[in-house]
Amino acid sequence: MHHARKSSRLNRRMPSLLQDDKHTLATMDCSGMTRWVSLGLTVITLIFLFPSFAGVSGDVAFTASNMQIGDCTIFRNYGLLSFKQWDSCEKGSYTITDYDSDLCNNENGELCGKCNSAGKGVLSFLVFSLFGVVSAFGLMVGKLFGANFSSFYSAGLLMGASFCTFIMWTVWAGGCDHYVKNKYHGKWIIDLGPAWALAFLSFIFTLTSGIIELMVGFGVISDGRAMNYQSAGDNQPSG
């Protein structure tokens, strides 16, 4: 009878034990996930930033435009330091014109000065943001392998990179892109290009990743490296 009563008490406690264990495992899974979400967003940002350098000469456009002339379409990609132009009827032929060249200023006037100033500013912040993201990535990978880096370091770098990418897309949209649209309105079809979109997405991702790292630093969420199994251990049935 004594053995039966003891088994009955243990059976009554089993649902509570299972619930505590499930809670512990769920906490472990969710907290471990934050590290991978933050790291994944940082990797994606790196993938986005590197192609942005192709936007220096207009290979990847910060502002893309085209104009139809008869059966041909003229394309012009505005990059950070120059624009690239080609004709659909002339395969394999294109020209690249630097904003600070006499040719650009003679043919396009004030536009080249506006785009040159905006482009140089954006390029500087592109370099700064890339440095910040690469450094944050290094710290985060180090933590994966057990390095005791504070999450505030990676959070600061990512927040700094987020600020830089914010400057990139706002300065370009309000500078060169705005001026091009005003100058060629009704003549060319003009839109913000893929390089600008990559800068905008980089801003969103670095901001999100930085917030996650900041929350880890303040202890709001765990980075998954120190799991507490005490709740399950405290509820082990006594003999």
- All structural domains of the chain: 32-56+111-225 (1.20.140)
More confident residue, 169 or 22: 169
pLDDT digits (tens, 9 = 90+) for 57-96: 999 999 999 999 999 999 999 999 999 999 999 988 999 9
pLDDT reported for residue 192 = 97
* Mean pLDDT to the nearest integer, 124-147: 94
Q: Specify the pLDDT at position 144.
A: 85
Residue-wise DSSP of 11-67: HHHHHHHHHHHHHHHHHHHHHHHHHHHHHHHHHHHHHHHHHHGGGTTTSS-SEEEEE
Per residue in 150-171, pLDDT tens? 999 999 999 999 999 999 999 9
Q: Is the pLDDT of residue 230 over 80?
A: no
User: Higher pLDDT residue, 170 or 229?
Assistant: 170
pLDDT at 131: 97
Please, is 44 exposed, middle or buried when counting C-beta atoms within 10 Å of its C-beta (0-12, 13-18, 19+)? Answer: middle
Cα Rg of the chain (Å, integer): 28
